[in-house]
Amino acid sequence: MLFRIKRFDGEKEYWSEYEVEVRKGMTVLDALFYIRENLDGSLAFRVSCRMGVCGSCAMKINHKPRLACETQIADLKSDVIVIEPLDNYKVIKDLIVDFDGFFKKHAKVKPYLIRKVENYEKPVELIQTPKQLDSYYQFALCIKCGACYSVCPASATRKDYLGPAAFASAYRFIKDSRDEGKEERIPEVACDGGVWRCHFAAECSEVCPKNVDPAKAVQKLRWEAVKHSIRSLLRW
Amino acid sequence: MRVQHDIVIVGAGLAGLRAAIAAAEKNKNLSIAIISKTYPIRCHSVCAEGGTAAVLREDEGDSFDLHAWDTVKGSDFLADQDAVEFFVREIPREILLLDNWGCPWSRREDGKIAQRAFGGQSFNRTVFAKDRTGLHEVHTLYERSLMYPNIVRYDEYFLTNLIIEDNEIRGVTAIELKTGDLILFEAKAVILATGGAGRLYGFTTYSHQVTGDGMAIAYRCGIPLKDMEFFQFHPTGLVPSGILISEAARGEGGYLRNKFGERFMEKYAPERMELAPRDVVARAMWKEIIEGRGFESEHGAYIALDLTHLGEEKIEERLPLIREAAKKFVGIDPVEEPLPVRPVAHYTMGGIHTNMWTETPVKGLFAAGEVACVSIHGANRLGSNSTAECLVFGRVAGEKAAEYAMRKDLKHVSNEIYKEEEKRIYDEFLGKSGDESPYQIKKELNEVMDKCFWIFRTGEEMKEGIKKIRELKERYKNVEIVDKKRRFNTDLIYAFEVGFMLDLAEVVAVCAYARTESRGAHYRLDYPNRDDENWLKHSLAYYTPQGPKLEYIPVKITKWKPVERKY
Ligand SMILES: Cc1cc2nc3c(=O)[nH]c(=O)nc-3n(C[C@H](O)[C@H](O)[C@H](O)COP(=O)(O)OP(=O)(O)OC[C@H]3O[C@@H](n4cnc5c(N)ncnc54)[C@H](O)[C@@H]3O)c2cc1C
Ligand code: SF4
Ligand code: FES
């Protein structure tokens, strides 16, 4: 099978083509390894877990962002496999894109549990029923693979737009019954590069390999933001 | 370029992240750096599935002594009992801290943290977050770490060396992958938390990044590696990829069956059945396979892991990741059909020699997590004790390093050292030509390890294995790195990792060959019995240019005298 891979070496962009013999059960990641080990050692891509949990291997495969390790070649039903780096990120080399900005945006939404009182030496068990857990759990499944961000039209046009993954994370903590930081977090997501910029293309949810549904999180966050402003007005 | 920090932590898995938080909690004014070759949430720890062991319910019948006893017995009495006793008392607090920091622990109906059964436990004490425990633990720690302004991260930096003078740590060197620049980190204290060495083996559950870098670098710097002959084989690796099917699958009630449909564990561990410790179950499975009672397939023989009787609801609730992985990677839904599994290389019991305060023999250098050998796992780790170890000893390392850094001044490293390292990497390694491929050498190394240092070992085979590893080491001197550019050079990194693995393979091999007994995961057909008279001791391997030099130190025994291990 023919693999066409978009390359970048820091100076120039070009395409490489490789012929790979495909076995049953082979993933796109297996093919990339085969190429690197046998045909071209200079091909650069990220990989770690090879089981869909670390988020390293998101890339564009036949024009759609997917995890290479989870993508069976046979399922693509195509004679040519075209592989490109994710859109909306700066390419460092070949399939490796710069994630620093993505992680900084995630950090901006205060993606951690905020408690008014903490005891580092003697923490106590917090109670959370299975139902309360279920209400946010789906949003805790995000592996920060960045696929959603790469198809997001708002992220493409505005550098400061926080992006779907960051919002999913913010919503995950707002919905966590143990969290007491909602009032601090909402201003972070309702800011200039915040949820109001979303175009509701909903492509983010469509490409998410972990079914996190960030578009839903954005929608819910907007409602939270509205409630928050009403609350602040009343307090006034 | 050169940067300075009070503490440099290498590795951002469970152990490294926990260490950073502990150091930051200890003192807000310390400047703490975390260096890692992958982004923190891309570390190997996210793969941990089943859970983390902790005594939470003394009122319901569990106790510290029980957890300690299970651990010591599981270790085949090679664990240091003082460390184990300390460990079991510390871990509950870690579970609660993670709870307070947002970890989505699975819950009981009453809203308390749930626990499940795991191999070798006399109480169901494994705390879990579905079967994505590691993922949630790592994300929780990473996100928590963002709250401390004095933690600075260097993501995607590759450690190349430790700088030690007068037996004291001075710092480390690392390549910034994005640019390819070599950076000198000067530090008062350094913590190694770089994880295990599982990719020594070909059939393995480990992430691709687990190549033993920290162990190998420490070893080359003269720090001894302890108990490296003990490598854990997990009973249930998915065939053919080796992706882990967590022990939780058996904890939740799964069966192992041979091709006659028999639950063969009856013969090997009548009391604990599928939930005997891993070494016992893995050997039983391998025996079934060798004796022709496995299923045949184009990817070799396998055993069936049968979950079909658990029902869809339970599988979806407790084991969703396994179900997703099985569907995606072998196209089987465990709700409907048994999964093809085979024992698989899974955990590095050995590691950098430390005491129970995570101190290495070099002043100011600490090690924690899978890279270290304290030892609490001895010859065989119990499932769910390792993430627990990362949390407990990560914390200890962070605190000890902080205390150490607070009483020390920063000493500068000479420019010569930096220049030499740069020359070694770029002129002598990257710039060199040769006719060997690191990928080919790695492949052959995996073949030797999978053949000669697998579940059943013999002196003869191991001798052959050692010879082969040494040949590979010779050939490695001739490797050529194809990609000559510095920018994000994964070819260069791979070549480094293969070099590290060759050194570690030799240590595993030499230690295993020397130990003429069977204990825990180290099982020799030519010495099938445990020999406490001669071998109740830890091995230490020291680097020499001719190969590892071995020494032995006694095991610390507090309460529990070795007895025969029956399950
Ligand atoms: C599939 C699987 C499932 C498991 N499930 C469980 C479980 O359910 N319960 C349990 O208790 N244990 C489990 N274990 C074991 C446990 O996951 C590991 O022992 C543990 O996560 C190791 O954590 P660590 O922090 O020591 O290292 P890692 O998580 O491996 O982290 C190592 C860090 O060091 C960095 N690093 C490595 N080399 C370099 C270098 N040269 N330069 C810079 N940085 C470097 C890496 O980038 C990474 O950040 C499982 C293991 C496997 C393989
Ligand atoms: S929301 Fe989905 S697509 Fe986006 S980063 Fe998380 S896992 Fe990836
Ligand atoms: S390699 Fe980890 S998600 Fe693909």
How many angstroms separate the CA atoms of B362 and B350, rounded?
Answer: 18
pLDDT score at A193: 85
**Computed from CA positions of residues A72, A78, A83, A89, in that sequence, does the dihedral angle turn out positive or negative?**
negative
pLDDT score at B567: 85
Whether complex ipTM tops 0.95: yes
3-state secondary structure of A226: helix
CA–centroid distance, A119 to ligand 2, in Å, is 32
Q: What number is the average pLDDT over the span A128-142?
A: 98
pLDDT score at A55: 98
- Residue B452 pLDDT exceeds 70: yes
Name the closest ligand to CA A209: 2
Whether the CB of A36 is below 8 Å from some CB of chain B: the reply is yes
pLDDT band at B286 (very low <50, low <70, confident <90, very high): very high
CA–centroid distance, B322 to ligand 3, in Å, is 15
What angle do helix axes A182-189 and A164-174 make, rounded to 10 degrees? 160
**Computed from CA positions of residues B61, B64, B68, B71, in that sequence, does the dihedral angle turn out positive or negative?**
positive
Q: For the structural domain made of A99-234, what CATH number should be given? A: 1.10.1060.10
If you classify domain B2-230+347-406 with CATH, what class do you get?
A: alpha beta
Residue intervals in chain A for CATH 1.10.1060.10: 99-234
CA B489 to chain centre: 26
Q: What number is the average pLDDT over the span B400-412?
A: 97
- Residues A5-28 have pLDDT tens digits of 999 999 999 999 999 999 988 999
**Which sequence spans correspond to the domains of chain B?**
2-230+347-406, 235-343, 416-554
- Residue A235 pLDDT exceeds 90: no
pLDDT score at A201: 87
What DSSP assignment string belongs to B83-136? HHHHHHHHHHHHHHHHHHTT----B-TTSSBPEE--TT-SS--EE-STT-HHHH
Least Cα separation, residue B204 to chain A (angstroms): 11
- Tell me the one-letter amino acid at A137: Y
- Residue A236 pLDDT exceeds 80: no
Output b/e per residue, A61-88; b: 16+ Cβ within 10 A. bbeebbbbbbbebeebeeeebbbbbbeb
pLDDT score at B35: 98
Residues of B with Cβ-Cβ distance to A70 under 8 angstroms: 328
Q: For the structural domain made of B416-554, what CATH number should be given? A: 1.20.58.100
Give nearest CA residue, ligand 3 atom 1: A50
Question: Which of A143, A152, A216 most suits a substitution to test ligand 2, by most atoms within 8 Å of the C-beta?
Answer: A143
How many angstroms separate the CA atoms of B109 and A99, rounded?
Answer: 40
pLDDT band at A192 (very low <50, low <70, confident <90, very high): confident
Q: What number is the average pLDDT over the span B159-173?
A: 98
Which residues, including other chains, have CB under 8 Å from residue B159's CB and lie 6 or more apart?
B10, B35, B37, B172, B173, B174, B194, B213, B214, B217
pLDDT score at B380: 95
Tokens of B475: 């050939």
Q: What number is the average pLDDT over the span B71-83?
A: 97
- Residues B523-553 have pLDDT tens digits of 999 999 999 999 999 999 999 999 999 999 9
A125 with B488: Cβ contact below 8 A: no
Residue linked to tokens 């070496």: A9
CA angle A12, A18, A22 (to 5 degrees): 145
Least Cα separation, residue A144 to chain B (angstroms): 8
**Domain covering A2-96: architecture:** Roll (3.10)
pLDDT score at A199: 87
Residue intervals in chain A for CATH 3.10.20.30: 2-96
Confirm if A113 and A129 have CB atoms less than 8 A apart: no
- Residues B262-282 have pLDDT tens digits of 999 999 999 999 999 899 999
Return the residue in B36, B91, B136, B483 with the most chain A beta carbons within 10 A, the one to mutate for interface testing. B483
- Residue A233 pLDDT exceeds 90: no
- Residues B288-311 have pLDDT tens digits of 999 999 999 999 999 999 999 999
Q: What number is the average pLDDT over the span B159-183?
A: 98
Q: What number is the average pLDDT over the span A102-127?
A: 97
- DSSP one-letter code for B302: B
How many angstroms separate the CA atoms of A124 and B399, rounded?
Answer: 21
Report the greatest alpha carbon distance in chain B: 68
What DSSP assignment string belongs to A74-111? HHH--SEEEEEPPTTS-EEETTEE--HHHHHHHHHT--
- DSSP one-letter code for B497: H
Q: End-to-end alpha-carbon separation of chain A, Å?
A: 66
Nearest CA-CA partner of B56 in B87, B89, B92: B92
What DSSP assignment string belongs to B344-409? EEEEE--EEE--TT-B-SSBTEEE-GGGEE-SSSTTSPPTTSHHHHHHHHHHHHHHHHHHHHHT--
pLDDT score at A234: 82
Return the residue in B486, B488, B492, B498 with the most chain A beta carbons within 10 A, the one to mutate for interface testing. B488
Tokens of B401: 């390093």
Q: Does the annotation mark B278 as catalytic?
A: yes
- Burial of residue A177 (CB within 10 Å: 0-12, 13-18, 19+) is middle
pLDDT band at B376 (very low <50, low <70, confident <90, very high): very high
Give nearest CA residue, ligand 2 atom 7: A142
CA angle B397, B407, B23 (to 5 degrees): 30
pLDDT score at B522: 98
Tokens of B231: 């490598």
Which residues does ligand 1 sit against, CB inside 6 Å? B 10-16, 35-38, 43-45, 47-52, 133-134, 157-159, 193-196, 205-206, 209-210, 213-214, 244, 246, 346-347, 369-371, 384-388, 390
- Residues B6-54 have pLDDT tens digits of 999 999 999 999 999 999 999 999 999 999 999 999 999 999 999 999 9
How many angstroms separate the CA atoms of B283 and B234, rounded?
Answer: 10
Q: Which residues are B302's β-sheet partners?
A: B295
Q: What number is the average pLDDT over the span A70-86?
A: 97
Nearest CA-CA partner of B169 in B225, B227, B226, B217: B217
If you classify domain B235-343 with CATH, what class do you get?
A: alpha beta
Q: What number is the average pLDDT over the span B222-250?
A: 96
Tokens of B379: 């010859």
Tokens of B325: 């992985």
Length of chain B measured in residues: 567
Confirm if B11 and B195 have CB atoms less than 8 A apart: yes
How many angstroms separate the CA atoms of B517 and B514, rounded?
Answer: 9
pTM check: above 0.90: yes
How many angstroms separate the CA atoms of A234 and B6, rounded?
Answer: 48
Alpha helices in chain A (DSSP H): 28-34, 73-76, 100-108, 130-137, 147-151, 153-157, 164-174, 182-189, 203-207, 214-235
- Burial of residue B303 (CB within 10 Å: 0-12, 13-18, 19+) is buried
- Residue A231 pLDDT exceeds 90: no
- Residue B400 pLDDT exceeds 80: yes
Q: What number is the average pLDDT over the span A133-145?
A: 98
Query: What torsion, rounded to 10 degrees, do the Cα atoms B227, B231, B234, B240 define?
Result: 160
Residues of A (40-59) whose Cβ lies below 8 Å from B: 40-42, 44-56
- Burial of residue B476 (CB within 10 Å: 0-12, 13-18, 19+) is buried
pLDDT score at A191: 87
